[in-house]
A and B are shown apart, each in its own frame.
Chain A
């Protein structure tokens, strides 16, 4: 399969990338692990692909009680980061390890995954449970949005066409916190039929689900079983809504149990 004809432009810096994105039907390419497959199917036919992969937007660091993940950080780089080696953030590596396969993890990026907004992608659930936000930049300036506000629907985000993610920011949970990710995957595609991320802190518990709705979402506080029973959950030829609801209950419970265990280790 060969993508439709397109131009390729390599952005030299952020301003150059934003300038290139002024063209109608321009598409950003970073790792390309979601975009290239849909270009080959000709579902995406960009006029120009703007390669941002060489911009300095990668790396993981902790600054001022917040974890900063450069949007171009690949899953492999994320897995190599010692910054994530703490119970409160354990869900991030646990989730990254299960994404795609080794080859996909070598190229696929965290920023690309979030703004591709696949309703079954794993990491957005983890970022939602951890209360993460994105720093965005456009020709008009900078703004901050929560991951929850970025995800509007299947493959739809609140980003403007000429807007890029410059930072993925996770507030460090309080001492005594733990997080976890659990999923039941479709055996062929590896995408989540239902996935759940949980964060347990001394003050609260948060669970976010993926693969079961039009976007990953945070369950309302309160009884988790009731929340899942009331949630809008879809079915398809791989799994009925009833089965997905059951799976959601199971993975949410698994993630919560592990997150609670990890919280005890976070002394």
Chain B
């Protein structure tokens, strides 16, 4: 049984057919081709599927697509403006915030939520906010430095 869901994704109105059980991450990846939301653990632990729902970071593997009806979703594909990287994206390049990059879209979107509430978080605040994003490459130090640097430029 399928329903039409209307979403505003990266500023654009989109609608697609989903089932009642369709997870938001599958709607974004398979329905809309936005593969920047990664499926990592698929159990709400790793945060690789994080997107912004009305500006707040959520794990899109733990949201039913129809729950997002009419709401604004930002994926990593929607962060850059006019070909310019978002300050967080630039900071991750400059401060070595990624290695393999699998976790990076989720980390950046979680950090975007944090910085929207507090532009100059302490390192402890950054680590607390990123607790739901697992990175197996960097040891987190580069990530924390990137988020701190991005906060300072916004």
Binding site for B on A (CB under 8 A): 1-8, 10, 29, 32-33, 36-37, 39-40, 48-49, 51, 53, 76, 97, 100-104, 106-107, 188, 190
Contacts and interface: CB of A to CB of B under 8 A. Distances in A.
A95 to B, nearest CB: 14
Interface residues on B, range: 20 to 34
Contacts of B21: 2-6, 8, 39
A153 B61 CA distance: 28
Interface of B: 1, 3, 19-21, 23, 26, 42-45, 47, 50, 53, 56-59, 61-64, 66-67, 69, 110, 113-114, 128-133
Contacts of A8: 3, 20-21, 64, 66-67
Q: Is the interface of B mostly helix, strand, loop or mixed?
A: mixed
Given A32-B67, A103-B132, 8 more contacts: A2-B23, A3-B23, A6-B20, A8-B66, A29-B67, A36-B63, A40-B61, A102-B110
B66 A10 contact: yes
19 contacts: A2-B23, A6-B21, A10-B69, A32-B64, A32-B67, A36-B64, A37-B43, A39-B21, A40-B42, A40-B61, A51-B67, A76-B56, A97-B128, A101-B131, A101-B132, A102-B110, A103-B47, A106-B57, A188-B45
A8 to B, nearest CB: 3
Contacts of A4: 21
B131 to A, nearest CB: 5
Contacts of B129: 102
Q: Name which of B1, B3, B45, B59 has the most chain A CB atoms within 10 A of its CB.
A: B59
A104 B59 contact: yes
